Chain A
Amino acid sequence: MAQTYLHNAREQTAALKPLRKRRWGGAAPYLFIFPWIFGFVVFTLGPLLFSLIISFFDWPIVGKVTFIGFDNYIEMFTDDPMFWTSLFVTLKFAALFVPLNIIIALGLAMLLNQKVRGSAIFRTAFYLPSVISGVALAMIWSWVYSGDYGILNYFLSLFGIQGPDWLNDTKWSLVAMVVASLWGQGSMMLIFLAGLKGIPKDLYESASIDGAGKIRQFFSVTIPMITPTILFNLITSIIAAFQQLTLALLLTGGGPLKSTYFYAMYMYENAFKYFKMGYSAANAWFMFLIVLVLTFLVFKSSEAWVFYEGEMKKNSRDERKSKKGGQAG
């Protein structure tokens, strides 16, 4: 059917031009996007505004609702040590997780980008842990980290190192959490891989003609060309770091001694353990603010380090387009 239409279409397009304008518009488009509009209002915009409103109330899940102005926010900053603890834990986690995530994902992507046999198999191996559920991942790591029977300490013992009880040692619990999180971050690696494949080959050729070695090429060609991808991954990593909850709930429950008590967990407990909905909404909005500020700062700084050379970008985009066209046809 599509084929015939395509055939007819070619002949008819010319005659169509004046018709086109009239046929657009009206109520039809709004009917098509209506599901999204409805969902947006009911499940996103509404809740977003409502959570801002209840953050100014003492709002238990059952019982009397009282307007208290900024008291939730004031209490958070001045009278709640758990707020500061969880914020600090999360910032520490982010400071470790975000750079490591970027570096490792980029490193793995560069390895996969080499011309080697079986690169698809290696890619699958690297991505495999990202496919399974966070619960499964947590269960596997709780066993890997087990102090007495864990495979990690066995591995270390081969080198004569006595490993700690990772998840029950305040010195190591957060690091253990970072490593377990990094293990399931395969999509970032794939995004980098796509970015690397998009770098035009001739850039490397002309660089090597100019006498640039491999290391020089990495810093003068590869890195500048993938800075847009780095920017994207940086922002998603920051957001992911602030939302880390599943692993904390299942691996450590926030312990030992609150060393892995993430901000998301603090919020979750305020809402669903203590049922302080208003207070938890205030927590959430403060976190949203931090994430927005960080994203804004990253974007602002990106003007200095993200490389969008108009010409070059256009060329590579055209190339991509023609590739896509080829696939579709």
Chain B
Amino acid sequence: MKKMLTYALLIVFSLLFIAPLFWAVTTALKSQQELYLFPPKWIPSVWKFSNFAEAWNSQPFNLFLKNTVIITALSTLGQLISCTLVAYGFARFQFKGRDFLFLVVLATMMIPWEVTMIPQYMEFNYLGWINTLKPLIVPSWFGSAYYIFLLRQFILTLPRELDEAATIDGASKVTVLFWIIVPLMGPSLILVAVFQVMSCWNDYLGPLIFLNDQTKYTLTLGLSQFKGMYGVDMQSIMAITCLISIPPLAIFFFAQRYIVGGIATTGIKG
């Protein structure tokens, strides 16, 4: 009896979480006539796959896709390289001020982005970077607190004897990092890459603030543009919504194990 109740609740909540997504997909496939029916139809009688192409071509989404891919790829690469170096520095060396600096790393996670947003905007404006992709890429090459924390925790679990043996054999610190430590960091590097790809791909406020020319837009900005456009139908909006949600959903399905584990680590810290 108790088991039944548990299952019932699990199913009801699953439906609550999935129904809006499901409805978005079926709306994207509806024809004009079926869109504004009440009561609404869950399953369209004719599946109009052409909606996707129409919606995609109604704005330069190929260009938006290109911009998004460039930003995502370069900033993820930057995070992986910079956070690995920094995490290794914090995990494997003893130096003056290390613990204090690491505390500062953690503290930066608490600073609301609104406080630094305006000076950053002015900084990038001064550098002439507004309306280029640089503000969305360059900061990623200087590490990010949460990822540094995750990678440092992981490096700490690797036996120090590995480094020491290699050092005895004459390997430099850099060699140790790239030939001994990095090959063992696979899972945690995947986790950082997954988190960064997703947050970059889904980012809206960054592009909104730093980009103003349509040729520089990202996918999320393109989608949000529909909001104010006259005569755009809901099925186009839902078609783009579905299309741009495919990559993060796909990544989630393939990397679920890492993601769930990674988020759990966040809580343990607390």
Q: Interface size for chain B: under 10, 10 to 19, 20 to 34, or 35 or more residues?
A: 35 or more
- The interface residues of chain A lying within 8 Å CB-to-CB of B117 are 271, 284
**In the bound complex, what is the Cα–Cα distance between A135 and B24 (angstroms)?**
13
Q: Are the CB atoms of A25 and B142 closer together than 8 Å?
A: no
Q: Are the CB atoms of B89 and A48 closer together than 8 Å?
A: no
Comparing A27-35, A94-102, A201-209, A217-225, the segment that makes contact with chain B is A27-35
Given contacts A128-B21, A135-B220, A228-B270, whether A33 and B86 have CB atoms under 8 Å apart is: yes
Tell me the A249-276 residues at the B interface (CB within 8 Å): 249-250, 264, 267-268, 271-272
- Does residue B229 face the partner (Cβ distance < 8 Å to A)? no
Q: Are the CB atoms of A38 and B119 closer together than 8 Å?
A: no
Q: Are the CB atoms of B116 and A36 closer together than 8 Å?
A: no
Instruction: Decide if the interface of chain A is mainly helix, strand, loop or mixed.
Output: helix
Q: Are the CB atoms of A191 and B264 closer together than 8 Å?
A: yes
Comparing B43-51, B57-65, B161-169, the segment that makes contact with chain A is B161-169
Tell me the B26-42 residues at the A interface (CB within 8 Å): 27, 35-40
- Closest B residue, CB atoms, query A184: B17
- The interface residues of chain B lying within 8 Å CB-to-CB of A19 are 164, 168
Tell me the B95-123 residues at the A interface (CB within 8 Å): 95, 98, 101, 104-105, 108, 110-123
Please tell me the number of chain A residues within 8 Å of chain B, measured between CB atoms. Answer: 106
- Closest B residue, CB atoms, query A21: B94
- Closest A residue, CB atoms, query B265: A194
Q: Are the CB atoms of B94 and A25 closer together than 8 Å?
A: yes
Given contacts A140-B24, A287-B112, whether A12 and B168 have CB atoms under 8 Å apart is: yes
- Does residue A231 face the partner (Cβ distance < 8 Å to B)? yes
Tell me the B198-256 residues at the A interface (CB within 8 Å): 198, 201-205, 208-209, 220, 223-224, 226-227, 234, 237-238, 241, 244-245, 248-249, 251-253, 256
Given contacts A123-B260, A126-B14, A272-B209, whether A32 and B166 have CB atoms under 8 Å apart is: no
- The interface residues of chain B lying within 8 Å CB-to-CB of A13 are 161, 164
- The interface residues of chain A lying within 8 Å CB-to-CB of B14 are 122, 125-126
Q: Are the CB atoms of A122 and B21 closer together than 8 Å?
A: no
Task: Kindly provide the distance from the CB of B71 to the nearest chain A CB, expressed in whole angstroms.
Answer: 14
Most buried by A among B19, B119, B168: B119
- Does residue A242 face the partner (Cβ distance < 8 Å to B)? yes
Q: Are the CB atoms of A133 and B201 closer together than 8 Å?
A: yes
- Does residue A144 face the partner (Cβ distance < 8 Å to B)? yes
Q: Are the CB atoms of B241 and A136 closer together than 8 Å?
A: yes
- Does residue A114 face the partner (Cβ distance < 8 Å to B)? yes
Most buried by B among A19, A112, A271: A271
- The interface residues of chain A lying within 8 Å CB-to-CB of B161 are 6, 9-10, 12-13
Comparing A74-82, A149-157, A165-173, the segment that makes contact with chain B is A149-157
- Does residue A88 face the partner (Cβ distance < 8 Å to B)? no
Q: Are the CB atoms of B24 and A143 closer together than 8 Å?
A: yes
- Closest A residue, CB atoms, query B89: A32
- Does residue B70 face the partner (Cβ distance < 8 Å to A)? no
Task: Kindly provide the distance from the CB of A120 to the nearest chain B CB, expressed in whole angstroms.
Answer: 8
Given contacts A2-B180, A36-B82, A47-B116, whether A246 and B204 have CB atoms under 8 Å apart is: yes
Q: Are the CB atoms of A232 and B173 closer together than 8 Å?
A: no
Across the interface, A9 reaches (CB within 8 A) one of B38, B114, B159, namely B159
- The interface residues of chain B lying within 8 Å CB-to-CB of A161 are none
Across the interface, B13 reaches (CB within 8 A) one of A108, A144, A271, namely A108
Tell me the A141-185 residues at the B interface (CB within 8 Å): 141, 143-144, 148-149, 151, 154, 157, 183
Given contacts A36-B143, A48-B111, A140-B21, whether A25 and B95 have CB atoms under 8 Å apart is: yes
- The interface residues of chain B lying within 8 Å CB-to-CB of A315 are none
- The interface residues of chain A lying within 8 Å CB-to-CB of B198 are 131
- The interface residues of chain B lying within 8 Å CB-to-CB of A324 are 157
Q: Are the CB atoms of B104 and A40 closer together than 8 Å?
A: yes
**In the bound complex, what is the Cα–Cα distance between A134 and B248 (angstroms)?**
12
Across the interface, A44 reaches (CB within 8 A) one of B19, B38, B116, B169, namely B116
Scan A11-29; emit 1 where CB is below 8 A from any B CB, else 0. Answer: 0110010011001110011
Apart from A116-B7, A143-B23, A229-B267, list 18 A-B contacts with CB within 8 A: A9-B161, A16-B164, A23-B167, A24-B94, A24-B95, A33-B86, A36-B86, A43-B142, A44-B116, A128-B18, A131-B245, A134-B202, A140-B20, A140-B24, A229-B270, A245-B205, A281-B118, A281-B119
The 8 A-B residue pairs with the shortest CB-CB distance in the complex, in nearest-first order = A39-B142, A232-B270, A32-B89, A194-B264, A191-B267, A9-B161, A29-B93, A47-B119
Show 5 A/B contacts (Cβ-Cβ < 8 Å), sorted by A: A32-B86, A116-B7, A129-B21, A133-B203, A136-B223
